[in-house]
Chain A
């Protein structure tokens, strides 16, 4: 710690004081210091996996506009984005690409209150509940998931989609 303090041009006393102040600030925000490393890791993963962070209201509004103008093109673009992202996992060197995709999907949808992905031997079910999703965003996000699941080798068996709710069942093959 002495070394780190010196590198930061601080005395050990000054460094520890700053750490205590940081702890108090984090506590005020309702988080702890672990959140720092977690958030940093999340941003790094998002960057490496081809995601962009912004305001969800803007994404929804833009999606609404695009969907209203050219529904099929928009659905196609989201489907392709799902294919592209899933391909990264399929062709990468991860031990279990689907598990990695599932974990990242959960991490990168921090704004979605309910996201449940279950995988059995040859089936995958996805259930998403997000009251803030607009109708078009729900449909576009479904298309994104379909693209990803198909790239993992699944065929969509059943699909129930309504504003803010997505339920997909897919079978391997």
Chain B
């Protein structure tokens, strides 16, 4: 919508309009003002590289992350906590990451219609140390491939445990697991 007087008519299904009308009413805005704002934000989202569908998915993932108790930690601190230097037993750390993944997977499984794709999107949105997240999903199997040029060997193994935990909660069992520095290859079967 431009600031000019030029106006266009776009046909929208009546039920959709009614719901949007209700939201604008609750916010105390006129329908036309509300729609203009929404469309402007949609254009802004588009300039960030999100189609309306992708924007909705991103919002859902971010909201889920907040509900799950997402928190930022300085990356240096995480590197230290993952390293041998902090003195934590390796299997203890792996258990913590696995359990955390299980908890995460359980939530995603309850919340999303396609939990595997939701989990993939979660990894893409929040794990910016991953340069690639590929998920190949068949009827009864899922293959994960994650690539990172930033992860240490230990951090890669722990992230792999996290993914395994999540996938186990979603209803899959590990068929094959391979975690090299910066590369995670996991195969799951239902």
Q: Is B12 close to A, CB under 8 A?
A: yes
Q: Which residues of A contact B93 (CB under 8 A)?
A: 62, 65
B11-40 near A? 1/0 per residue, CB < 8 Å: 111001101100100000000000000110
**What chain B residues lie within 8 Å of A39 (beta carbons)?**
58-59, 62
Which residues on B sit within 8 Å (CB–CB) of A66?
Answer: 80-81, 86-88
* Cβ-neighbour of A52 out of B23, B51, B55, B129 (below 8 A): B129
Within 8 Å CB of A33, what residues of B?
A: 38, 41-42, 45, 55
Of chain B, the residue at the smallest CB distance from A77 is B80
Q: Which residues of B121-150 are within 8 A (CB) of A?
A: 125-129
CA distance A46 to B128 in the complex (A): 10
Instruction: Judge whether A81 and B74 touch: CB under 8 Å.
Output: yes
Question: Quick one: CB contact mask for A89-122 with B, threshold 8 Å, 1 for yes?
Answer: 0000000000000000000111100000000000
B-contact bits for A14-33, CB 8 A (1 contact / 0 none): 01111111111111011111
| Structural contact, B45 and A36, CB atoms closer than 8 A | yes
Q: Which of A16, A25, A85 has the most CB of B within 10 A?
A: A16
In the complex, the answer to whether A24 meets B58 with C-beta atoms within 8 Å is no
Name A residues whose Cβ lies closer than 8 Å to a Cβ of B. Answer: 1, 4, 8, 12-13, 15-27, 29-37, 39-40, 43, 46-47, 50-59, 61-63, 65-66, 69-70, 73-74, 77-78, 80-82, 84-85, 108-111, 132, 140, 144
